[in-house]
Amino acid sequence: MVDLHSHLLWSADDGPATMEQTIEMLKQAVCEGISEIVATSHFQHPLYSVDFNEVYQKVNLIQLELIKNNIPIKIHLGHEVRLSDNILNLYNQLHIHTLANSKYMLIELPSNSVPYFTPFMLQKLTFAGITPIIAHPERNRAIYQNPRLLEELIRNGAYTQITAGSIAGLFGRNIQKFSFSLIKANLIHTYGSDAHNLTTRPFLFKEGLRILQKRKLSNYVNLFLENNECVIMNEPLTVLEPKSIKKNRWFLQ
């Protein structure tokens, strides 16, 4: 299985502090059934922005360490890119990694809003041959209050990635319920752990899939895992027709 979203690079952002912790995380990833993982360090986040070359160098060092210790997992280059109006320029200047050198780019929205220029920027990326995947939309306050915002972005060419911890209840019951609503509305396309460590932000990759299966959503499990593979292989994703869901009247988190 492929994990599209993780924070694995030591002393880079809000992930592990040491390389030893990175390796322990990857050992746990193997226990979760993950065979390939994308290291998506923050880029242009208000607190963190990991340099293109640092990602490249550390991912190579980690892969060598994995081979040396016979840990059966492959790590890919990536970034989690905070939405801005200069993404395309930075990408063209070789400052941003797409997911596993594919056409897919993981885009992070601000936690509380969907900026007015979001549709324009996502379309601009699409026209340039880059396919945006919106990270953890279930944790965005504006989308929670008005899911039609997400539906509109998807209809304009964006894809989405839901977090295993959201499905498993790590971020609270309301986010968990909202995650199921987005999934059933066909507004989710891929799946990732967004793991930062083994304590407060663990993988929960297997647990999220187990809960989906328990709720008789196995068809979405298959869809997400197949689409994850397609991202790594730089192939088209399978997309179901979006369904509209009602606006939420409140947000408690």
Kindly state whether residue 101 falls inside one of the protein's structural domains.
Answer: yes
Asked if residue 8 is part of any domain, the answer here is yes
- Distance in angstroms (rounded) separating the CA atoms of residues 16 and 22: 6
**What CATH number corresponds to the domain at position 186?**
3.20.20.140
Q: How far apart are CA 93 and CA 165, in angstroms?
A: 34
Number of domains in the chain: 1
Which residue shows structure tokens 């990602």? 55
For residue 84, what are the domain limits? 2-232
- d(CA 137, CA 110) in angstroms, rounded, equals 10
Q: What is the pLDDT of residue 168?
A: 97
Helix (H) or strand (E) holding 29: helix 19-31
In a domain, 245, yes or no: no
C-alpha 26: how far from chain center: 17
> Residue 244 falls within a domain, yes or no?
no
* Straight-line distance from the first to the last Cα atom of the chain, in angstroms, rounded to the nearest whole number: 30
Please list the pLDDT of the chain residue by residue as tens digits (253 residues). 999 999 999 999 999 999 999 999 999 999 999 999 999 999 999 999 999 999 999 999 999 999 999 999 999 999 999 999 999 999 999 999 999 999 999 999 999 999 999 999 999 999 999 999 999 999 999 999 999 999 999 988 999 999 999 999 999 999 999 999 999 999 999 999 999 999 999 999 999 999 999 999 999 999 999 999 999 999 999 999 888 776 554 444 3
Q: Is 32 exposed, middle or buried (0-12, 13-18, 19+ CB in 10 A)?
A: buried
Among 184, 134, 181, smallest CA distance to 159 is for 134
| Rounded-to-integer distance, Cα 231 and Cα 99, Å | 7
Instruction: Let me know if residue 190 belongs to a domain.
Output: yes
Sign of the alpha-carbon torsion through 141, 240, 168, 234: negative
Q: Is residue 206 part of a domain?
A: yes
Q: Which residues pair with 190 in a beta bridge?
A: 161
Secondary structure percentages of the chain, helix, strand, coil, to 5: 40, 15, 45
What is the pLDDT at residue 250?
44
Q: Looking at the domain assignment, is residue 252 inside a domain?
A: no
Q: Is residue 56 part of a domain?
A: yes
Instruction: Write out the two tokens for 25.
Output: 């995380």
Cα distance between residue 117 and residue 139, in whole Å: 19
Q: In the numeric block, which tokens belong to residue 39?
A: 């290291």
Check residue 253 and give its pLDDT: 37
Cα distances from 17 to residues 20, 214, 221, in angstroms, run 8, 35, 32
The Cα 23–Cα 210 span in angstroms is 25
